[in-house]
Amino acid sequence: MAPTTMAKKAKGKKPADPSETSKLLAAKISQLEQDAAGEKDQEAEIEREVKKATRDLNQLLNNIESPMTRLETVHKKYTELLADMKKLDRDYAKSKKRADQLQKDQDKGKSELSKTATMKDKLEKLCRELTKENKKVKDENKRLEEIEKKARGVVNARLDSLLFDIQDFVTARGDARGEKADIDLDDALRAKIKTIGEKFEAREQHYKALLRSKDAEIQSLTAKYEEQRRGAESEAQRCRALSSQVSTFSQTEAELRSQLNIYVEKFKQVEDTLNNSNELFLTFRKEMEEMAKKTKRLEKENMTLTRKHEQTNRNILEMAEERTRNNDELEKWRKKSNNLEALCRRMQEQGRGQALAGELDAVDDEGTEMTRENMTIIITITTITIMRNINIHQQTELLTVSPFLDHRHHQR
């Protein structure tokens, strides 16, 4: 009987368990929900930190009255935030580099894990085939033993039946030729039994050789199975180690990505704060420029008012001198008028006769006319002087008051 050959089977994957797939999907959904909730919490926390930083900055600037001090404070805050931003940039670059390296290691581990899983599937498949082949060989040996046992039983039954038939035949014949016939029959039976025994021995030798070949094949397959089993166990152990390493890398990557997201949000926060600080800095700078322009304009107005005030003082001094001269001239004219009146009275009091009286009357008339003319002149001069003094006084008051009015107008 020829030995059986191993059957070749096509490669196939083990079908996935529906319960296991649903568990994986549920775990993935819960993980995504947790990630979304974590991102919302991080965004809310970042928004609170931005509001707090803006509120603190506004409160700090409101407590400072001097624009220069505000500008210095904003500049200092800007410098600190710029230093923090540069530090976050360096940390971000380091974390990104580390995350890329971990991603490469993780990809490498996943590739090795995939190769190991493929090798494990092949070894498991080979082990299953070897187990099936071993079982088939054992069944074949058992079947051959049963066939041999049945063949021996059949041969023994036939020999017993043949012996019984021969004995019956010998007993039935019972003649004189029985002894010779028995001898011939014995010889024939011996020859036949010898032939049957030789055939049986040859068949037994064939079965023994077949069993030895099957035993050798079983031992070879067993040794190969043990070798493959040990290799599968080592690969399974390595696969578990790689799985643990991959899970560690995945956890580290998740932590680094979370930290990286925090750094990115902080960088955005710092950038927003810097933009606000730049806007405040530009606003303060614009206010300072406007204040500088206003200060220059006020200095020019102050110089103009100072020149006007000095000119007014000079005009007042000149008017005071002119008034003094006018008063002196008026006093001189008053003295002349008083002297003429006194002269006229003395001349009237002296008695010089009628002619003299007539002459005096004529003189009085002339003197009266002269006196009247002088008085008219004096009154006119006095009136002009008074009006001039009044005008000068009003102009002086206007010149004195107008700079203050202009100054108050500019202040408004």
Strand, helix or coil for residue 333: helix
For residue 51, tell me if it sits in a domain: no
For residue 233, tell me if it sits in a domain: no
Write down the pLDDT at residue 28: 67
CB 243: neighbour CB atoms within 10 A? 14
For residue 328, tell me if it sits in a domain: yes
The tens place of each residue's pLDDT in the chain, 412 residues long, gives 333 443 333 334 444 455 666 666 667 677 777 777 777 777 777 777 777 777 777 777 777 777 777 777 777 777 787 787 788 788 878 877 887 887 787 778 778 777 877 887 887 888 788 788 878 878 887 888 888 788 777 877 877 777 777 777 666 665 545 556 566 666 777 777 778 777 777 877 887 787 788 778 778 878 887 887 787 788 778 777 877 777 787 787 778 777 778 877 777 777 777 777 777 778 877 888 888 888 888 888 889 988 888 888 888 888 888 888 888 888 888 888 888 888 888 888 875 444 444 544 544 444 444 445 555 555 556 556 555 555 554 455 444 444 444 444 444 4
For residue 391, tell me if it sits in a domain: yes
For residue 177, tell me if it sits in a domain: no
147: nearest Cα among 232, 220, 204: 204
For residue 248, tell me if it sits in a domain: no
pTM of the model as a whole:
0.32
CB 277: neighbour CB atoms within 10 A? 19
What distance in Å separates the CA atoms of residue 122 and residue 8, rounded to the nearest whole number?
13
For residue 95, tell me if it sits in a domain: no
- E strand map for 140-260: none
Which residues span the domain enclosing 368? 299-411
For residue 397, tell me if it sits in a domain: yes
Q: How many domains does the chain have?
A: 1
What distance in Å separates the CA atoms of residue 95 and residue 102, rounded to the nearest whole number?
10
